[in-house]
Amino acid sequence: MTATNGVSNGNVNNGTAPRPSVKFNPRLCTLSGDNNELISRYKYQNSIVVKDIHTNELEITPFEQDYQFKINLNPNKVGIMLVGLGGNNGSTFLASLLANKNNISFNTREGTVEPNYYGSMTQSSTLKLGIDSEGNDVFAPFNSILPMVNPNDFVVSGWDINDENLFMAMQRAKVLEYDLQSKLKPYMESYKPLKSIYYPDFIAMNQFERANNCINQNDDGQFNTQDKWNDLLKIRQDIKDFKSHNNLENIIVLWTANTERCVEIIPGVNDTMDNLIASIKDNHSEISPSNIFATAAIMEKVPYINGSPQNTFVPGLIELAEHNDVLIAGDDFKTGQTKLKSVMTQFLVDAGIKPVSIASYNHLGNNDGLNLSSHAQFRSKEISKSSVIDDCINSNEILFNKKDSTDKTNHCIVIKYMKAVGDSKVAMDEYYSQLMLGGHNRISIHNVCEDSLLASPIIIDLLVMTEFLSRITYKKMGEDQEFHKFYPILSFLSYWLKAPLTRSGFKPINSLNRQRLALENFLRLLVGLPPNDELRFEERLR
C-alpha cells in the first residue's frame, strides 16, 4: 500500500522568517474575485534587430506590447508523483520534506543540525526589491513576494522499479547522516513505491537486479514489452487514484529515475501526436518508459517534468502537450558542475576572453553513476551537459566566427563510476582560454558535490514554480478578450535544467544569470514593480 501523507506546517521559509507585507502598486495592480486574484498591467518592450549580411549594419526597431497578467493568490493542494521515488533523489527529497515538516534536528560529529531547505532558490534565496531612503539595497525572500506553495504541504507518492519502502531506500542511498535516518524511520517506512515500468533496452543491464516492482513483470520475473498501452492505462489509473484518494486539486509528475538511452526520432512513429499514440498501441521498440509516463500524465492533464537527460519529449509528445494544454519542462537537473560551467563560461565570454577548450571529468559512486557506466545512457548525459555553453558562445562574434564551423570551444566530458565515493560526485574542470597577443589563461576547478543534496532542492524548486506558474494567465491588451495559460513548454524553469526545452523556432538560454533575472523580473511585474537594473543613478549622478 502506498502512503500518501500530506506534509505541512504552513509557514514560509520553514517558519524561520516572517513573510514581509508587500504592498501592490495600485496604479498597475488590482485585486479582484474577493481579493483572491491579482491583476497586473505591464508594458513589455524589446527590439527587433536586422543585420545586413553585406555591410554588417544593424537596423534596430523597438517594439512594445501591453499585457495583463492574472494570478490566483491561493496555492493549490498539490500532489507530487515521482518516477524513481525509491532512488537517491526521491528518498532524499521525501526525507527533506518530512524533516522540515516535523522540525527534526539531528546530531553530526560537528554538532546539531536544524532542518532547512538550503540549496533551494525558492525557499532559501532573496531578491532585490529596491532601495531604502539612504540608497541601500533592500532584499526580501524569493517566496515572499507572492503566495507560493510550501513544500511541507506536498502530498507525495510515486513509482519505482524496486519495492523497498522509503526508509530502506534512504538507507541504501547512503546520503543522509545516520542520526537523521534513525529519526526519520517512523515516517519514511510507511511510504512504498507504486509499481513502475521496466523495458530492459532503455537503461543499463546493471539495473536488472533492482527491478522487482514492475507493472510489466510476469510471475517468472521476465518483462513483457508487448503491452505498452496497458502499461500507460495503469499509470493513468495510478494518477487518478492518487488524486481522488487524497482530494487533491493538482498533481505534478516528475521523472527522477535512471537516465535512459535516447530514443530515435522516426517519421511515422513518434513525430506526431497520432503516430505516438499508435506506436504505443503497436508496442514499438522506440517507445521508452519515460514516453509512457509523460504521455499518461499529459492525457490526465497533469504537468510533467523530465529531470533526466534522455529525449523524452519527442515531437509527438510536445504536440500532445499542446493539444491538451498541459505544462511540460525538461531536460536534466542542473546541479553542480554544469551550473558552475554556465556561470564560468559566461564570465569568460563577457570579459572578452576566448575559451578554446573546456575539459570536464566526473566520477561518482551512486546508482546514477552505475547506470551511466553504460555507453548508451552516458551518451544521453553527454548531450545534455555539452549544450550548456552554446548560447554563450554564440553571443560573441568577435571571439567566435559563426561562418567558420571549426571556430568553437572544444568541449570534452568524461563520467566514470567509482563505487567508493558514493553520492559525493567529484568534478574536475579545466578552462583553457586565449588572451590578447597570443597569451593564454588556464582555470582549473575541483568541485566535490553531494549529488542528491544538490538535486533534491532543485526538485523542490521545479515543483513549487510549476504550481505557481499554473495559477497565472495573461492576455494581450487590445487583442485578446480572454485570459490564456502559458504556452505548454515552461521555459521559465530553465534555471534548474541543463538542456532546457524550448518552443520550436527559439533557441534555449543557458546563462544562469539571464535565467535568474527573468524569474526575478517576472515576479516583480506581477506586483507592479519595474524590471530590476543596476544603473544606480542615485550614486552615480549629481
Task: Identify whether the C-beta of residue 475 lies closer than 8 Å to the C-beta of residue 360.
Answer: no
Task: Identify whether the C-beta of residue 255 lies closer than 8 Å to the C-beta of residue 160.
Answer: no
Task: Identify whether the C-beta of residue 305 lies closer than 8 Å to the C-beta of residue 493.
Answer: yes
Q: Are strands 194-195 and 155-160 parallel, antiparallel or unpaired?
A: parallel
Residue 319 CB-density burial (10 A; 0-12 exposed, 13-18 middle, 19+ buried): middle
Q: Cell 534512504 sits at which residue?
A: 170
C-alpha cell at 32: 479582484
Residue 285 CB-density burial (10 A; 0-12 exposed, 13-18 middle, 19+ buried): middle
Phi, psi of 410 (to 5 degrees): -80, 110
How confident is the model at residue 377, as a pLDDT? 67
How confident is the model at residue 13, as a pLDDT? 42
C-alpha cell at 427: 568534478
How confident is the model at residue 2, as a pLDDT? 36
Rounded to whole angstroms, the Cα distance separating 19 from 126 reads 12
Closest residue by Cα to residue 322 from 151, 83, 484, 538: 484
Task: Identify whether the C-beta of residue 429 lies closer than 8 Å to the C-beta of residue 403.
Answer: no
Please name the residues in contact with 343: beta carbons below 8 A apart, sequence gap of 6 or more: 512, 513
- Opening angle at CA 342, ends 337 and 348, nearest 5: 115
Q: How far is CA 274 from CA 325, 415, 489, in A?
A: 16, 37, 19
Q: Could you give the residue ranges of the DSSP H alpha helices within 282-336?
A: 289-299, 315-324
**What is 337-451's CATH number?**
3.30.360.10
Start and end residues for every CATH 3.30.360.10 domain found in the chain: 337-451
Residue 37 CB-density burial (10 A; 0-12 exposed, 13-18 middle, 19+ buried): middle
Give 229-233 contacts, CB < 8 A, sequence gap 24+. 229/280, 229/281, 229/283, 231/197, 231/292, 232/280, 232/292, 232/295, 232/296, 232/299
Would you call 328 helix, strand, or coil by DSSP?
strand
Residue 356 CB-density burial (10 A; 0-12 exposed, 13-18 middle, 19+ buried): middle
* Residue ranges in the chain whose pLDDT is less than 50: 1-19
Q: How far is CA 139 from CA 125, 230, 359, 398, in A?
A: 10, 52, 37, 37
| Whether this model's pTM surpasses 0.85 | yes
Beta bridge partners of 44: 65
Start and end residues for every CATH 3.40.50.720 domain found in the chain: 1-335+452-533
Q: Is 325 left (phi over 0), alpha (psi -120 to 50) or beta?
A: left
**Cα Rg of the chain, angstroms:** 24
For residue 234, give the amino acid letter: K
Task: Identify whether the C-beta of residue 141 lies closer than 8 Å to the C-beta of residue 13.
Answer: yes
How confident is the model at residue 380, as a pLDDT? 60
**What is 1-335+452-533's CATH number?**
3.40.50.720
Residue 406 CB-density burial (10 A; 0-12 exposed, 13-18 middle, 19+ buried): exposed
Q: Is the peptide bond before 331 cis (omega within 30 degrees of 0)?
A: yes
Catalytic residue positions? 332, 381, 425, 498
H helix count then E strand count, the chain: 15, 18
Beta bridge partners of 450: 424
Task: Identify whether the C-beta of residue 525 lies closer than 8 Å to the C-beta of residue 132.
Answer: no
Rounded to whole angstroms, the Cα distance separating 462 from 472 reads 16
Task: Identify whether the C-beta of residue 180 lies closer than 8 Å to the C-beta of residue 104.
Answer: yes
